[in-house]
Amino acid sequence: MELDPFDLMPTNHFSWDELNPSFRGHQASPHGQYDPATGEWINFTMEVSIQGTSYHFFSITEANPKGTVIASIQAKASFVHSFALTPRYIILAVFPFHANYRGVQFSWHESILNSFSFRNEPTMFYVISRQQKQHVATYRADPCFAFHHINAFEDVDDIHLDIACYNKATIANQLTTSNLRHPESMKPTHLEAAEIRRYTLANITQEIANFEDQSAHETSGVFSGLIKMISGTVIGEGGDQYSWIPITTYQKLVDSTIELPQVNPAWRQNRNRYIFGVGMSTKDLLEPGRIWDAIVKADLDKKTITHSWSQEGCFPSEAFFIPAPAQKDVDEDDGVLVSVVLDSIRNKSFLLILDSKTFTEVAKADLPQVVPLSFAHGSFRGRS
3 state SS for 210-274? HHHHHHHHHCCCCCHHHHHHHHCCCCCCCHHHHHHCCECCEEECCCCCCEEEECCHHHCECCCCE
Q: What is the pLDDT of residue 225?
A: 46
**What phi and psi values does residue 281 have, to the nearest 5 degrees?**
-75, -20
CA–centroid distance for 30 within its chain: 8
pLDDT reported for residue 180: 79
Cβ(253)–Cβ(162) below 8 Å: yes
In this structure, the chain runs to a length of: 384
Name all contacts of 174-181 with Cβ < 8 Å and 24+ positions apart.
175/375, 176/113, 180/291, 180/373
Greatest CA separation for the chain: 70
Of 151, 158, 194, nearest to 174 by C-alpha is: 194
What sign results for the dihedral spanned by CA atoms 349, 351, 311, 289? positive
What pLDDT score does 103 carry? 59
pLDDT in tens, the chain (384 residues): 788 888 888 898 888 888 999 999 878 898 999 999 999 999 999 998 777 899 999 999 999 999 999 999 999 999 999 999 999 999 999 999 998 876 556 555 556 777 889 999 999 999 999 999 999 999 999 999 999 999 999 999 999 999 999 999 999 888 888 887 887 788 888 888 999 999 999 999 999 999 988 877 665 554 444 434 333 444 444 445 678 899 999 999 998 899 999 999 999 999 999 999 999 987 666 676 678 899 999 999 999 999 999 999 999 999 999 999 877 778 999 999 999 999 999 999 999 999 999 999 999 999 999 988 776 665 555 444
> Looking at the DSSP assignment, which residues form a beta bridge with residue 90?
85, 128
**Pairing mode, if any, of strands 348-355 and 40-49?**
unpaired
- Listed residue (192, 149, 160, 158) closest to 173, CA to CA: 192
Determine the Cα–Cα distance for residues 374 and 170; give it in Å rounded to an integer: 19
- The pLDDT, as a whole number, for residue 218 is 64
| pTM of this structure | 0.88
The CA distances from residue 41 to 70, 134, 189, 262, in Å, are 12, 18, 40, 18
What is the number of other CB atoms lying within 10 angstroms of the CB of residue 377? 14
Asked if 194 and 158 touch (Cβ cutoff 8 Å), the reply is no
**Predicted pLDDT of residue 229:** 38
Check residue 34 and give its pLDDT. 93
pLDDT of residue 74: 93
Per-residue model confidence (pLDDT) at position 52 = 82
CA 115, 121, 126 angle in degrees (round to 5)? Answer: 90
